[in-house]
Amino acid sequence: MPELPEVETTRRGIAPYLEGREIHEVIVRNRRLRLPVPEGLENALIGSRIGTLSRRAKYLILPIESPTDSAVTDGAPVGDALHDEEAAGPALLWHLGMSGSLRIARLGDPPKKHDHVDLVMEDGAILRYHDPRRFGFLDWLQGDVASDRRFVRLGPEPLSPAFDDERLFQCSRKRRLAVKPFLMDNAVVVGVGNIYAAEALFLAGIDPRRAAGQISRERYVRLTAAIREVLSSAITQGGTTLRDFVSGTGEPGYFAQRLNVYGRDGEPCRRCGRELRLVTLGQRASVFCPNCQT
Ligand SMILES: [Zn+2]
């Protein structure tokens, strides 16, 4: 499943081919994604220009600058104090779901099975959406992105200054929930999925079963740094696969990473050599080292 680093790598990979470009054609081969592709999306997009791509949690945001934007207002209230110009709609919101991927194809590259949506740019670059399981979706946002119901309750981005050990520590007080599902709660911090929660807890030496509220301030300092480290290093590794986003063949690289614990149940700990153990926390498999993580 694409997690935050894959979504961020996707953003960086596709942005140079889209930003400032006009959309010439929209091809929807299958509207039945997790949310149906909005009717009329084709007409709304053709002739529009794509603004600066951003990401919030695992959502990709493609601002759409309609050619009529400057001349026509739709009567929506704008200009409130919190209004972020960059986040002002309309925008295309794209979520990759369980198995979705976006890459750049060229005119003449034949679509493959499960290539459901193409946005064809003025210069012939094609943003092509591939999703075998169709749990991903794209949605059309009219208003301010930040006030969309999907975003209002989200915690801070883990790689932004808004995420720090003090905040994490304060959020955890009186929480009996095990620390691993606590980290995976989007209201606490966004984008720390199963893989990266397990890896960060290993780096910080914290047992994933421990109650979030019972962990010391000092250990949250280490944990915060570990979360940043695992996500940043995954994004850096992803950067080396960026060329995969423009190849005419194959899938974009959801890069194979060197993981310490995730998926390594029963194998030896890379640090101490003891056998890694599997537990289920919040209905998710969690592998950890009972010796290194206390
Ligand atoms: Zn160990």
Rg (CA), the chain: 21
Average pLDDT over residues 63-72: 66
Q: In whole angstroms, what is the distance from residue 282 CA to residue 284 CA?
A: 5
Instruction: Choose among 96, 113, 219: nearest CA to 168.
Output: 219
pLDDT > 70 in the chain, percent: 86
Q: Which amino acid is at 181?
A: P
pLDDT of residue 88: 66
Catalytic positions, written as ranges = 2-3, 58, 284
Kindly give the distance from the C-alpha atom of residue 275 to the centroid of ligand 1, in angstroms, as a whole number.
8
Alpha carbon 266 to chain centroid, angstroms: 30
Range(s) within the chain of domains with CATH label 3.20.190.10: 4-147
pLDDT of residue 235: 86
Average pLDDT over residues 276-280: 97
pLDDT of residue 23: 97
76, 142 contact by CB (below 8 A): yes
Which residues contact residue 243 at a Cβ distance below 8 angstroms, ignoring those fewer than 6 apart? none
Fold (CATH) for 165-288? Helicase, Ruva Protein; domain 3 (1.10.8)
- pLDDT score of 240 more than 80: no
Q: Among 54-58, 75-79, 290-294, where is mean pLDDT lowest? A: 75-79
Kindly give the distance from the C-alpha atom of residue 230 to the centroid of ligand 1, in angstroms, as a whole number.
18
Kindly give the distance from the C-alpha atom of residue 267 to the centroid of ligand 1, in angstroms, as a whole number.
11
- pLDDT score of 250 more than 70: no
Average pLDDT over residues 43-72: 85
pLDDT per residue as tens digits for the range 114-132:
999 999 999 999 999 999 9
- pLDDT score of 73 more than 60: no
**pLDDT band per the 50, 70, 90 thresholds, residue 248:** very low
Q: In whole angstroms, what is the distance from residue 272 CA to residue 291 CA?
A: 8
Average pLDDT over residues 243-256: 50
- pLDDT score of 83 more than 50: no
Q: In whole angstroms, what is the distance from residue 192 CA to residue 232 CA?
A: 12
143-to-43, 87, 88 alpha-carbon distances in Å: 18, 9, 6
Range(s) within the chain of domains with CATH label 1.10.8.50: 165-288
pLDDT of residue 147: 85
31, 117 contact by CB (below 8 A): no
pLDDT of residue 232: 92
- pLDDT score of 239 more than 80: no
List 55's β-bridge partners, or say none. 60
Q: In terms of CATH architecture, what is 4-147?
A: Alpha-Beta Barrel (3.20)
Kindly give the distance from the C-alpha atom of residue 208 to the centroid of ligand 1, in angstroms, as a whole number.
13
The DSSP code sequence of the chain is ---HHHHHHHHHHHHHHHTTPBEEEEEES--BSSSBPPTTHHHHHTT-EE---EEETTEEEEEEE-TTTTT---S-----TT--GGG-S-EEEEE-TTT-EEEEEETTPPP-TTEEEEEEETTSEEEEEE-SS---EEEEE-S-GGGSTTTTT----TTSTT--HHHHHHHHTT--SBHHHHHT-TTTSSS--HHHHHHHHHHHT--TTSBGGGS-HHHHHHHHHHHHHHHHHHHHHHHTTGGGGS-SSS---------SSTT-TTSBPTTT-PBPEEEEETTEEEEE-TTT--
pLDDT of residue 84: 44
Residues whose beta carbons lie less than 5 angstroms from ion ligand 1: 269, 271-272, 289, 291-292
Kindly give the distance from the C-alpha atom of residue 240 to the centroid of ligand 1, in angstroms, as a whole number.
29
Averaging pLDDT over each range in 136-140, 145-149, 240-244, 249-253, which range is the top one? 136-140
pLDDT of residue 236: 82
pLDDT per residue as tens digits for the range 173-215:
999 999 999 999 999 999 999 999 999 999 999 999 999 999 9
Kindly give the distance from the C-alpha atom of residue 294 to the centroid of ligand 1, in angstroms, as a whole number.
10
Total-model pTM: 0.85
- pLDDT score of 92 more than 60: yes
pLDDT > 90 in the chain, percent: 73
Q: In whole angstroms, what is the distance from residue 63 CA to residue 87 CA?
A: 8
158 vs 146, residue with greater confidence: 158
Q: For the chain, first and last CA: distance in Å?
A: 28
**pLDDT band per the 50, 70, 90 thresholds, residue 77:** very low
30-to-36, 137, 253 alpha-carbon distances in Å: 9, 11, 24
